[in-house]
Every structure is written in C-alpha cells, then in structure tokens.
Amino acid sequence: MLTKYRRFALLFILLVAMGANAQINTEQVVNIGRNALYFEDYILAIQYFNQAIKAKPFLAEPYFYRSVAKISLEDYRGAEQDAGMAIERNPFIVDAYQVRGVSRQNLGDFKGAVEDYDEGLKLMPEDKNLLINRAVCHTALKNYDEAQQSFDRLLQLDRRNDRAYIGLAQMNLARKDTAAALDNLNHGIALSKKNASAYVMRAEIYTRTRHDFESALADMDSAIMLEPRYAGFFINRAFMKYNLDDYFGAMADYDYALGLDPASQEAHFNRGLLRAEVGDNNKAISDFDFVLKSNPSNFMALYNRALLHMRTGQFRDAVNDFTAILKKYPEFEAGYMARGEAKRRMGDIRGSEADMEKAMAIFRRNKTHVSTFNPAEIEATAAIKKAEQRALNGGEDEPETAEEIMNRFNTLLTVTDNEPVKPEYANRQRGHVQNDNIEVEPMPMFTLSYYAQDNKLNGKTHYIREVGDINDLKQLPGTLTIVSGEPQLDADAIQQRFRSIEYYNSLLVAATPRSIDHFARGLDYLLVKNPEAAIVDADSALALSPQFMLAYLLRADAHYMQYRMAQARDENAPATVSSATETKPLTMLRQRKDVIELDLMMKDLDSAIKLSPKNVYAHFNKGNVYMLQGDYTSAISCYTTAVELKPDLAEAYYNRGLMYLRLGNKTQGVNDLSKAGELGILPSYNVLKRMTR
C-alpha cells in the first residue's frame, strides 16, 4: 500500500527583506524577481536573480531568493548550493538555513539537515518549523531521544500543535510502538481535522496491524476530501475497497488515480491485477504493458502478463515473456513447462520438447515430481523486505547503484506520450514546470543561419569572433548568426533564399569565383534543405581558402543534415521487403553511410577547432557527435571544454547532465541539470523531478 511520498516539506519561507546595500538597479532587479516568486513564476524569477548575482556577486539576498525558487521547482541540489552561497555572504539569514535544511532533508542528507536546523535555532530558538523538521530528521537517523527532545520543546511552545503529534506518531511507528503512534494521531486529529497526512498514517496503522479496512477507508475518504488531486490517495483507497470486496469501487479509484496521474506505474499495476481477477484479460495486459514499458525490470508485471498471454492464446508473446523470466530464474521448471506448452500450441514441436526436457532435468536433479520453485513468491518476499527496510530508513530507499540509475534514466527516453493534443498549459514557462510532461531529448547542434533566435528567458544570443568579422565585411545577403537547432522558415523566407541562390548562380558564372560567394550560396542551400549542394559549395570555398573556418562549420552542418535525413528515411521506410536476405545488406549499407556522415562531420569540426581553438560551439557539436556514436565519456569531455570556454552555455550543462545519467553518475548529472535549469533550460526541472527521489 502506498503512503504519501513526502511526509516533510517546507511549509512556508518568509521572504523577508534583509537590508540590501546594492545600488538601485540591482535592488529593482531583485524586487522584480521577488514579485515573480510571489506569482509562482519561478523560472522568470531565477533569471532576474541571475542578473543581480552577475552584477553584485557579493550580495546574499539574490542567492537566497534563487534558492527559494529552486526548491519550489524541486531542484533540491541547486537550492542547497544557493542557500549555502547566501549563508557564506550573510550567516544570519535564518530562512537560508531552513531552505538548505529542507533541501538536504529531501536529498536524504538528514545529518546535514540537522546541522542547518541547529544553526537556525541558535538565531531563532522558538521557530516551530525548524524544531519539527529537526525532530523528523532525528527520527530518520534513529536518534529517538533527540527527536523526543525537539518534540517536547515544540509542545512546550505550542500545546495545540497538531503537526508535533503527527511527527511523534511517525517516530513511534519507527520504534514499532503502534499503540503510541495511534494515540498520537488521534490526539493530532482531535486538534486539527485539516491534516491529510494524519488520516493517511492512521489508515496505514488500521490496515497493517488491525486489518480494519472499514476504519482505514473512512480515514482515506477524509484525506481525499482535504487533498482531492493526489493520485496516491485514490490508489490507497482502492486497496481498502478491494479488501472490502468492493471491486467496482476499487476499479473506479484506480481509473480516477490515472486520470490525475496517467504515468502512475502503481495504479496501472494494481488495476492490471484487478482486471485479471475479474477476467478482463486484454485490458489487464495493456496495464502491464504500460508498467513494463516504463520499468522493464518489474518482474511481477512480466510474470502476470506471461500468464495472461497464455490465458488469451497469445502464445508468441507468452514465449517472449517466459524467456525473459527464465533468463532471471533458470531453475524455474514450471516456466520451461509453460513455455514448452506455448511453443507446442504454436506448432514448434522441437522447441516444445526441448523445454519439457529441461523441466524434467530439473525435476530429476531436485528429486521432485511437482514444481516447488515459485519466483513470484521470491519477488514478493524481496519487495516486502525492501519496504520494511525503507520504513526503517525513515522512508528513504537504499542508495541506487549506477546500473539502476542508468536503467531509470533510459526508461525516461522510451516512454512515449500518447496524448495527441497538448493542453495549452503543457508548453508554459511559469509555475511548477517540473510537472510538465516532456520528452527527454538533448539540446540540438548549433548551426549557422541568417535567422536569429534567442532564449526568451535569458535573452542570450550566440556569437563567435569569426561571425562578427564576416558580418563586418557586409558581403553576405544577411546577418550571419549561430542558433541552437534548425529554425523553421516561413514561405517568404524560403523564397528569399531561392532568390539568393539564383543571384549567386549568376555571380559565380560571370565573375571570378570567391570563397565567400560559395560559402553564401552553400548556406542558402543548407537553409532550403539541400545539403548535397551545400557540401559542394563548402568544398569549393575551402579549395579557394583552406583557412576559412566557417566553411568547415557549414560543411559539418550539411553532413549532419544528411545524417538526419537518412535517419528519417529509415524510420519512415515501408516494412515490406521481398526477403530477409535483401534486408540485411541494405540495412548495413545505410548504417555504414550514417557512420561515414558522422565521421566526416567530426573531421570538419576538428578542422574548425584547429583553426579556432576557442570555438565553443564546435566543441559542443563535437560532443553531440560523440553522443550519437554512443561514446558518452568523450561527449562529456567535449561539453566540459565548452563550459570552460563559456560558463553560461546552458545547453552544454544540460547535455552533459544527460550523459552523466546515461553513465549512472547521478550526482554529477543532477548538478549539471540544476545549472542548466538555472540558465533557462526548462526541461531540466522535469528530468530532475523524475530522477531525484
């Protein structure tokens, strides 16, 4: 049964003015940022505080307010760092200790959080939030005497503090004193009937220790009345209804939970079990499909789907599922028998006999005649032990391994969004953007263009010296710039490029060819999606001027466009081919061409870097090429060079963060995503939320 994911939170941060001594412009910027905070426009607020920090890096106030914005976006690592910077500049900001403490608490650093709460209480000994947060952390650390002291002090200050009694209940549950915990909760609810967590905790006690599902159901009803938008409460209530034989009510709650949170694996899994029990097999399979697409390592979903595939006669799918099961549990004799039966029903007699013989060999080895091995029971026992250990750890999971981090990150890249029409708010730049449903994609290559597009949040445009030099010559049909990705041209812009191509066609026939003219026409060709012609012109420009660095960038852009076009053709190619013998050579040929395009692009980028070692965008693009080649370590090295050359290149932090997560390095990945979000890359906060537990 699920409980509310976070039992502690920063309830309120006093945004007090701390007597800044900055000049009037900096004060105005900070005040505007504070206004954005009040309106929950956290992303915009961060950009204003960035400006203030850049102008006056010695001020504590902008760092503090930026930490408040980041904690609101659930960027706990970034909030911790900013609160620390504020404390370094002014160690008397009580709320900065609270922000950093809460951030550390959410990151599982309870010892560090206690240290911050202690410092805050030195400055403000009667702060109730600091006291209760410190008590909760001591509970997580199993320092029960210290936790009791904090709760006692809080109750001395406020005998009617219902949160203190709920905290005491949490501590007593950790000490396995359920009677005392229940008494605490009853007292807390008597004082205030507006705390949903109290009802949830009491419902959990009724369920786990007393099997009193009717009382638990009543408490969950109360919790849902207080927080009707939290999907986990409906999943909890469905479990209670199921145990009261109210299958219809349980199904309705699972459906409603998925309406609130369509990505909930728990709701899909439990609904799948219930659907299977009532005989709605195909819909149950759909639920388990969703779970396994999001989390391929969910063994129980795989096991249940395998049984349902057998039940519904989908024998090929059953074989695939049992093969995955047997890979993990090669001594599962009943699994071989089930797979053998599925193969027999498919007409694969030889495969069926082989599986049956494997099963019989295990029986003979174990000297049994019936299956005694139950992987589902093993998995269930392991899950119970994990849940018990999590409870002993104060609600925190064991640290993830690098492999678990990689697997979880990879699932973010494979889950597709089936919603055909995006609601208007899904593309917003305000509020809690970490909750927006986004597809995880790296920031694209930087390309040459005449069509500038800046980051609307931070106003940054991209520039290198060579671009400024060529614009000063005024020999191009437009102002050259560097953009992230390929800008979409409207009909008028496209016609303008075709007219420019015609002009250069005439010029290059009538006049002595110049490298700048070939470069200009090549860029026009690239903008109208003719990379082959762009490469020819880049070749001509470099033949005339071998030191023409921008021509190397142009040719690299063209090779990348060819690569992407080949990828798009492969994705949209018809599946019908005459035979498998024709497919393999064609596939290998296409793959070889893709490799060649990336190699040629890498060669051009290396040439550009040799001519212009500080060309940050060439280093970034090189990192993207390594990423496409699957060499994530080299990609990280390139992005690191890019941020060393340009410390505010948000795209490089974002891509490097994704690569760190690909390699299972959560700490570095989270740090980079936090920095990218700070610099205006909105998807960072969604990935942070999904990767930070």
pLDDT: which is higher, 384 or 461: 461
Query: Which tokens in the block code for residue 476?
Result: 């191009």
- Other C-beta atoms closer than 10 Å to the C-beta of 371 total 17
Query: How far apart (Å, rounded) are the C-alpha atoms in residues 75 and 692?
Result: 9
pLDDT at 455 over 70: no
* pLDDT of amino acid 11: 31
* pLDDT of amino acid 134: 96
Q: What is the dihedral of CA 331, 335, 341, 345, to 10 degrees?
A: -130
* pLDDT of amino acid 561: 87
Query: How far apart (Å, rounded) are the C-alpha atoms in residues 657 and 674?
Result: 9
Choice among 397-401, 477-481, 640-644 with the minimum mean pLDDT = 397-401
* pLDDT of amino acid 591: 52
* pLDDT of amino acid 331: 87
Ordered structural domains, the chain, with CATH: 1-124 (1.25.40.10), 302-392 (1.25.40.10), 446-572+583-691 (1.25.40.10)
Among 480, 488, 430, smallest CA distance to 457 is for 430
Q: What is the DSSP string of 349-405?
A: HHHHHHHHHHHHHHHHHHT-SS----HHHHHHHHHHHHHHHHHHTTSPPPPPPHHHH
**Average pLDDT estimate for 539-554:** 95
Query: Which tokens in the block code for residue 60?
Result: 């504590």
pLDDT confidence bin for 416, thresholds 50/70/90: very low
**Average pLDDT estimate for 368-385:** 70
Question: CA 19, 23, 24, 28 torsion: positive or negative?
Answer: negative
Question: Tell me: the pLDDT tens digits for 303-314?
Answer: 999 999 999 999
pLDDT confidence bin for 377, thresholds 50/70/90: confident
Question: Tell me: the pLDDT tens digits for 75-92?
Answer: 999 999 999 999 999 999
Q: What is the dihedral of CA 21, 27, 30, 35, to 10 degrees?
A: 130
Choice among 34-43, 158-167, 303-312 with the minimum mean pLDDT = 34-43
**Average pLDDT estimate for 529-547:** 93
Tell me which amino acid residue 273 is: L
pLDDT at 463 over 90: no
Average pLDDT taken over every residue of the chain: 83
395 sits in the region (left: phi over 0; alpha: psi -120 to 50; else beta) called: left
Query: Which tokens in the block code for residue 14?
Result: 């006093």
Query: How far apart (Å, rounded) are the C-alpha atoms in residues 445 and 621?
Result: 5
pLDDT confidence bin for 33, thresholds 50/70/90: confident
Indicate the pTM of the whole model. Answer: 0.66
* pLDDT of amino acid 427: 36
Q: What is the DSSP letter of 206?
A: I
pLDDT confidence bin for 485, thresholds 50/70/90: confident
Query: How far apart (Å, rounded) are the C-alpha atoms in residues 278 and 258?
Result: 19
Query: How far apart (Å, rounded) are the C-alpha atoms in residues 30 and 36?
Result: 10
In percent, the amount of the chain with pLDDT more than 90 equals 58
Query: Which tokens in the block code for residue 284?
Result: 């149950």
Question: Tell me: the pLDDT tens digits for 240-292?
Answer: 999 999 999 999 999 999 999 998 999 999 999 999 999 999 999 999 999 99
CA distances from 594 to 439, 534, 584 (A): 24, 18, 15
**Average pLDDT estimate for 450-469:** 75
**Average pLDDT estimate for 183-191:** 95
CA distances from 491 to 451, 494, 496 (A): 14, 5, 9
Choice among 28-32, 63-67, 136-140 with the minimum mean pLDDT = 28-32
CA distances from 510 to 50, 271, 473, 525, 561 (A): 53, 74, 21, 20, 30
Q: What is the DSSP letter of 229?
A: T
Helix (H) or strand (E) holding 482: strand 481-484
pLDDT at 519 over 70: yes
In percent, the amount of the chain with pLDDT more than 70 equals 82
Question: Tell me: the pLDDT tens digits for 432-441?
Answer: 545 544 556 8
pLDDT confidence bin for 454, thresholds 50/70/90: low
pLDDT: which is higher, 401 or 288: 288
* pLDDT of amino acid 91: 95
* pLDDT of amino acid 253: 96
